[in-house]
Amino acid sequence: MSRREHEESRLKVSGAVSLAELHQTAEYILPDERFSKPVAVIECIEAIPCNPCETACPVGAIVIGDDITTLPVIDPTICTGCGICVAACPGLAIYLKQKNHGPGLSYIAFPYEYLPLPKAGDVVTMANRYGEGVCAGSVVRVVKTTRFDRTAIVHATYDSAFYEDVVNMVRL
Amino acid sequence: MKRVQREIVVIGSGPAGLCAAIEAAQAGAGVLLLDENAKPGGQLFKQIHKFFGSADHRAGVRGLDIGVQLLKQAEDLNIEVWLNSEACGIFDQNSVWVVRDKQHSITVEAQRIIIATGAVENSINFPGWTLPGVMGAGAAQTMINVNRVLPGHRVLMVGSGNVGVIVSYQLLQAGAQVVAIVEAAPTLGGYGVHTAKVRRAGVPFYASHTVKEARGTDHVKSAVLVNLDSNWQPIDGSEFEVEVDTICIATGLTPAVELAFGSGCTPVNSPALGGLVPVHDAGMKSSNESIYVAGDVCGVEEASTAMEEGRIAGLCAAHSLSYLDEAAFSRRFEQLQHNVNALRSGMFGQRRREAKESIVSSYGVHR
């Protein structure tokens, strides 16, 4: 898929939300280079009845309100980057990101429910929203706790040229 | 024939039936829960993904774990459960003919009956559709998540509703490759978060496409896909072949209404909810004073909604037998209405809510 298609295709045709659709959604907030730690990014653009992200957040950084079909809004300045919402989201639509984690390196922590799991130190292929490999990534750690209920969270660094494109990794 | 008496009989122990039984038992009623299968839970134990909703709906908990919690609750409430027990008919408003273990007939005389028989998968037919390897998406889901058997290695999914995309995701988790998901409509049906999940795992979607033919001699070897025009007609020359060994059909569900209609419940047509369903009031009472309905049998939605609807049916059936004082009943009823309405909102739920309201508003007319 070309870069143009990635930017212009539609969720209800391609299955993946495009950058154009995300950028039209006020609730999609990608942290810029000023953030000194990874914070949660939410790609939830359809009004479905769901609010575990809001109830899971220990610091009240995610707000939905009484009408649970309202899109979640995150305040990234409050988010501590704990990652609890990443595992709590039934839609696997949340990840943590930091643009400048190191020189030329971005950071992502994404939900991953496949076996085998990668392990710290592995070099993996980072994937965009269409499942295409876009660059190499280094796995920093893989978090599996009881609270995450069998959803592993993979932390990895990758080339910051692909900061916004990368959302996951190519399955092993 | 042997006869026994029970206060409330619930037919079907899926999400709706289990919750109906629990709610009625919590209100104080004596409950007998029937299921034709060897294990209770209906389709709940196949649902290995985390559910949507709010804390009231146990959102964020995997379906199978909700099933475990409900069975524990049913056990704690001493609900009587008959497995391998098929409800074959309802006679004289109150008598359920049950066949146990495929050999013993028994009549259960019930003061109230709650029918929660669920729904059955729709199929579509095309040349080659009887070949081994062509199956319902629900069958594939049972194989991987209950029996831990992979139906095949290269799968074509037909239908992009939530069932199609969720089962596709679970097939990937089970180790299969999903070669394509085709959708006859010009836009995909399932929640965007579900389609996004399989798309970023590399599964391509083909909107405005369907399966034209399955090829193979003793098993599916490939499928021919074809592009559809705006009138849903195949476009000649647009055919292409994909190598697959499994074709899963996820083209919707139809309410399993035989028992309800056989017992004389008045039908009403609700295209948005799967076709003909028994008409019911807001308390899930059918046109028959002693028969209640809940879950997919009275309109195909999803498991979380079925659970809330089951609770409403259980509550109202128990209340009609004078369990619960008016205040306690009203409080609980309003809470459950709130819960179910929360699930019938938003871009996907609104249509279901309107369809349900239309059924309820026609109740007086159709009775």
Query: What one-character-per-residue DSSP string does B70-137 give?
Result: HHHHHHHTT-EEE-SEEEEEEETTTEEEEEETTTEEEEEEEEEEEE---EEE-----TTTTSTTEEEH
Check whether residue B206 and residue B274 sit in a common domain.
no
Give the Cβ contact number of residue B1 at 10 Å.
9
Q: Torsions phi, psi of B167, nearest 5?
A: -65, -35
Whole-number pLDDT of residue A72: 97
- Which residue numbers of B have CB closer than 8 Å to A's CBs? 49-55, 59-62, 65, 160, 165, 172-173, 181, 186-188, 191-205, 207, 342-349
Indicate the SS3 state at residue A3.
helix
Pairwise CB contact (< 8 Å): B193 & A127:
no
CA distance to partner chain A, nearest, from residue B342 (Å)? 7
What's CA B3's distance to the chain center, in Å? 31
What's CA B67's distance to the chain center, in Å? 14
Note whether A84 and A109 are within 8 A (CB): no
Check whether residue B240 and residue B136 sit in a common domain.
yes
Give the Cβ contact number of residue B194 at 10 Å.
28
Check whether residue B237 and residue B192 sit in a common domain.
yes
Q: Last residue of some domain: B193, B223, B249?
A: B249
Nearest CA in chain A to B181: A15
Domain limits for position B327: 2-120+253-366
A95 confidence band (pLDDT: 50, 70, 90): very high
Pairwise CB contact (< 8 Å): A48 & B52:
yes
Pairwise CB contact (< 8 Å): A15 & B195:
yes
Pick B345's closest partner by Cβ from A15, A69, A90.
A69
Contacts of A48 (CB under 8 A, 6+ apart): A69, A91, B52, B191, B193, B346, B347, B348, B349
Pick among B56, B61, B179, B193 to test the A interface (most A CBs inside 10 A): B193
Pick B52's closest partner by Cβ from A13, A49, A129.
A49
Pairwise CB contact (< 8 Å): B60 & A56:
yes
Q: Kindly state the helix (H) or strand (E) to which residue A11 belongs, with its residue range.
A: helix A11-14
**A-B contacts at Cβ under 8 angstroms:** 141
Between CA B228 and CA B239, with CA B234 as vertex, the angle to 5 degrees is 95
CA distance to partner chain A, nearest, from residue B165 (Å)? 10
List CB contacts (< 8 A) between B345 and chain A: 47, 49, 67-69
Q: Kindly state the helix (H) or strand (E) to which residue A169 belongs, with its residue range.
A: strand A168-169
Report residue B188 as tokens. Answer: 């995909």
Whole-number pLDDT of residue B365: 73
Give the Cβ contact number of residue B116 at 10 Å.
34
Whole-number pLDDT of residue A1: 56
Report residue A153 as tokens. Answer: 């969270």
CA distance to partner chain A, nearest, from residue B19 (Å)? 20
What's the length of chain A?
172
List CB contacts (< 8 A) between A172 and chain B: none
Candidates A44, A47, A37, A95; CA nearest to A70 is A47
Check whether residue B172 and residue B185 sit in a common domain.
yes
Whole-number pLDDT of residue A3: 58
Query: What is the share, in percent, of chain A residues with pLDDT greater than 70?
Result: 95
Burial of B139 per CB tally in 10 Å (0-12, 13-18, 19+): middle
Q: Torsion angle, CA of B322/B324/B329/B332, rounded to 10 degrees?
A: -140
Number of domains in chain B: 2
Residue A9 to residue B167: CA distance in whole angstroms: 24
Cis peptide before A116 (omega within 30 of 0): yes
A88 confidence band (pLDDT: 50, 70, 90): very high
Q: What is the interface pTM, i.e. ipTM, of the complex?
A: 0.96
Q: Last residue of some domain: B206, B222, B249?
A: B249
Note whether A7 and A17 are within 8 A (CB): no
CA distance to partner chain A, nearest, from residue B145 (Å)? 14
Q: Last residue of some domain: B249, B282, B308?
A: B249
Candidates B169, B183, B179; CA nearest to B140 is B169
pLDDT tens, residue by residue, A43-86: 999 999 999 999 999 999 999 999 999 999 999 999 999 999 99
Residue B132 to residue B126: CA distance in whole angstroms: 14
List CB contacts (< 8 A) between B199 and chain A: 14-16, 129-131
Check whether residue B69 and residue B186 sit in a common domain.
no
| A103 φψ region: left (φ > 0), alpha (ψ -120 to 50), beta (else) | beta
Check whether residue B240 and residue B131 sit in a common domain.
yes
Any idea what the CATH number is for the domain that residue B205 is in?
A: 3.50.50.60
Q: Kindly state the helix (H) or strand (E) to which residue A83 belongs, with its residue range.
A: none
Between A9 and B124, where is the model more confident? B124
Check whether residue B264 and residue B234 sit in a common domain.
no
Q: Which residues of A102-138 are buried (b: 16+ CB within 10 A; e: fewer)?
A: eeebbbbbbbbbbeeebeeebebebbbbbbeebbebe
| A67 φψ region: left (φ > 0), alpha (ψ -120 to 50), beta (else) | beta
Tokens 């660059």 found at:
A135
List CB contacts (< 8 A) between B49 and chain A: 90
Give the Cβ contact number of residue A58 at 10 Å.
9
**Straight-line distance from the first to the last Cα atom of chain B, in angstroms, rounded to the nearest whole number:** 32
CA distance to partner chain B, nearest, from residue A164 (Å)? 14
Nearest CA in chain B to A93: B193
Residue B296 to residue B299: CA distance in whole angstroms: 5
Whole-number pLDDT of residue B204: 97
Averaged pLDDT of chain A: 95
List average pLDDT for each run of 10 residues in chain B, which is 367 residues long: 96 98 98 97 96 92 96 97 98 95 97 98 96 98 97 98 98 98 97 97 97 98 97 97 98 98 96 97 97 98 97 98 97 97 92 96 77
Pairwise CB contact (< 8 Å): B203 & A131:
yes
Pick among A24, A44, A113 to test the B interface (most B CBs inside 10 A): A113
What's the length of chain B?
367
pTM of the model: 0.96
Q: Look up residue B46 and give its DSSP letter.
A: G
